[in-house]
Every structure is written in structure tokens, then in C-alpha cells.
Amino acid sequence: MLQGSMVAIVTPFKDGKLDEDTLKKLIDRQIENGTKGIIPCGTTGESPTLTYEEHDRVVELTTKHVAGRVLVVAGAGSNSTREAIQLAGHAKDVGADAALVITPYYNKPTQKGLFEHYKTITEKVDIPVVIYNVPGRTGVNIAAETVAELSKLKNIVAIKEASGSLDKVTDILSRCEITVLSGEDALNYLIIANGGRGAISVTANVVPDKCNKMCDAALNGDHETARKIHYELYELNKAMFYETNPIPVKTSLAMMGLVNGDFRSPLCHMQETNKQKLEKVLKDYKLI
């Protein structure tokens, strides 16, 4: 079910509120360029600063506007199991295809705590769950052994692996048959070549067509084409992380005229030196 290039889509704001019309346009642009799945309310969507009402609205709007054209994997994570259940339940109620559930951040649960967290969610909400491992954000790294145990549960269908470690991907795939999705754009091709099934991408916000072609080529065994695009995207992938995500990607979309570039505090506009570097990269890629 989950494979190919999927986008962790930005959340556009206007005058401090959700910019729903722009979000719809961004979704349509992704689908027109071959993106296989839309992921609202992830880190790239500035989910930590959305109110519960806004979070629910973004997921519902996305699901309704996608209207079955591609998959919707709704961000539904929290460092509270109870809150994650609430978010996953809403995702199911509005028709999302799956829930992306980040490992609980800040409170740093043990591996047993992580297992119980995901197990409880799957017991309470009948929706496919994608584990999201990004230790650089959360302060906790789910072990391959824990992933293997979780993969035995009915509704655990995939893991978005963003630890930056190919060894970790190999360890997971050597233990179980869970679907591994790259959460690290610089490693998208390498993870697919190592047995992954696709990517949940930041860079796809900017170049959805290229990301889609790279993933499709890799999955179809055309590694010459996939490697070529992988190298072509190298500098752009780096540029998306000149500062904390989603600052560079949202700034890029603003430079391209696709969003107005508003952020929710404590995120803020790019430092001028980094913005100039980003602008040069976008010009080099003929995106602006």
C-alpha cells in the first residue's frame, strides 16, 4: 500500500490562520506531479504549533480534497498516548488511509514504553499505523528489535526511518518484513536500494516530479536512472536543511510563488546569509 514518493506537506498560513485555498493548490500540484501520498500535520507541517482544532481541520481538508486520488497518511503523534489515540481516531473518522505516529518526544520512554505506546494505539483505533523514528527531534531512538516486535501487530504497517543510519535500515529489514520508508531525503535512493519501499520527503514539496521519478525508477530496478536523479538532487536536499525544517522548504516555496512564507513562532524567517545560499541553489536548479 505505502510506496513511492510521498510528501510531508507544509501547512500554509495567512494572517496567522490556516490558508486553506493554498493548501488545496499545493495538494493538487503534488498529485499532478506523481506523488503517491500526502502527509499532513507532520513536522514539516509545523504540527507542534497547530491547535487541536487546526490539526483536525488540516487532516480533514486534506483527506476530502485528495478524495481518494492518492493516499493520505495523517500525522497523529504525541508524547501522550492518550492524545495520540485521539488524533489517530480523528484521522480514521475523516477517512485518512493511515496515521503517522512519531515516537513520543521529550519524556524519553524505554523500549518497553515505546512498544506499549504503539500497541495501545492499535488496540484503540483500527487504522494502519506508520511508526515515525526521528531521534534527532525526539531524543529517543526506537530499536530494530522493538520495530520487529511491533511489526507482528495487525495495524503496524510501516516505519518512516529518519535516524540517518543505513545500518539501522538493514537491521530492521533483517529482522522483519515491515515496509521501510525513508525519512531522510539525502538517503532516499540508498534506502530504497537497501530494501525500502519509498520516501516521505521534504524535498518533494519543491520538486515532486523529480522525487517521484527517482523513487519509481529505483522501485522498478532502473538504478541507473535513480542514481542519476539522486546525484542531481544532492545539493537541493542539503539546502532543505540549511536551517531547521521546515524553514528552508517553506522559504523555497515562497520564492517560487507558491506560498507566502509565513511561519508559526518559534519558527522564524531564515537568516539572510542562509537565505542567499538557498536562493542560489534554487536558481541553479532553475526553480526561480
Q: Stretch 142-169: mean pLDDT, rounded?
A: 97
What confidence category does residue 198 fall into, taking pLDDT thresholds of 50, 70 and 90?
A: very high
Tell me which of 92, 160, 213, 250 is the catalytic residue: 160
What pLDDT, on a 0 to 100 scale, did the predictor assign at position 40? 98
**Tell me, what's the pLDDT at 193?**
97
Q: State the CB neighbour count (10 A cutoff) for residue 68.
A: 9
Confidence class for position 232, pLDDT limits 50, 70, 90: very high
Q: Region 21-35: what's the mean pLDDT?
A: 98
Q: Does position 184 have pLDDT exceeding 90, yes or no?
A: yes
Phi, psi of 49 (to 5 degrees): -105, 0
In this prediction, residue 253 carries a pLDDT of 98
Average pLDDT in the 75-95 region? 97
- Grid cell in block for residue 253: 516555496
Torsion 9-133-197-127 (CA) sign: negative
How many CB atoms lie under 10 A from the CB of residue 233?
Answer: 23
146, pLDDT greater than 90: yes
Angle between helices 52-66 and 81-93 (to 10 degrees): 30
Residue 66 has pLDDT above 90, yes or no: yes
Q: 195 phi and psi, to 5 degrees?
A: 115, -5
CB 150, CB 119: distance < 8 Å: yes
Task: Record the pTM.
Answer: 0.96
Phi first, then psi, for residue 133 (nearest 5°) are -110, 110
Catalytic residue among 92, 118, 132, 189: 132
Residue 262 has pLDDT above 90, yes or no: yes
- The pLDDT value recorded for residue 1 is 78
pLDDT for res 156: 98
In the three-class reduction of DSSP (H, G, I as helix; E, B as strand; rest coil), residue 5 is classed as strand
| 77 closest CA partner among 196, 186, 200, 241 | 200
Mean pLDDT throughout 89-115? 97
Q: Which domains does the chain have, with CATH numbers?
A: 4-222 (3.20.20.70)
| Residue 64: active-site member | no
The residue-averaged pLDDT of 127-141 equals: 96
Q: What is the pLDDT of residue 44?
A: 96
pLDDT > 90: percent of the chain: 100
**What one-letter code names the amino acid at 2?**
L
- % pLDDT > 70, the chain: 100
Does residue 234 carry a catalytic annotation? no
**Residue 269 has what DSSP assignment?**
P
